[in-house]
Amino acid sequence: MLIARVVGEMVATRKHPSHEGRNLLLVQPLELDGSNRGDAVVALDAVGAGVGDKVLLTTDGYAAMSSLGRMQSPIDMAVIGLIDRVDLA
């Protein structure tokens, strides 16, 4: 799992039937210090996140499918949580 920030929403005129009714988000993975970690990625939204939200991103296909309740769907990444804060010890 990764910490990420939602940087945009995507619209697809055609998508896999199992993705119907789900929003596609463009999310930027983050380092613990808040700096960007690599390139932004596309993920399906399971929690109603919006642009600017800090989120928990799963990059495991099985976790993404099961969190969305869409087993056997072609899903690689999903936003599965909204992050209120990160405390580092």
How many domains does the chain contain in total? 1
Task: Please state the pTM of the whole predicted model.
Answer: 0.85
Q: Is residue 33 part of a domain?
A: yes
Helix (H) or strand (E) holding 61: helix 61-68
Dihedral, 19, 47, 65, 58 alpha carbons, nearest 10: 120
pLDDT in tens, 36-82: 999 999 999 989 999 999 999 998 776 776 776 767 777 788 999 99
Identity at 57, one-letter amino acid code: L
Residue 51 sits in a domain of what CATH number? Answer: 2.40.50.220
Domain that holds residue 66: 2-11+21-82
Q: Is residue 67 part of a domain?
A: yes
Q: Is residue 89 part of a domain?
A: no
pLDDT value, residue 38: 94
Q: Is residue 88 part of a domain?
A: no
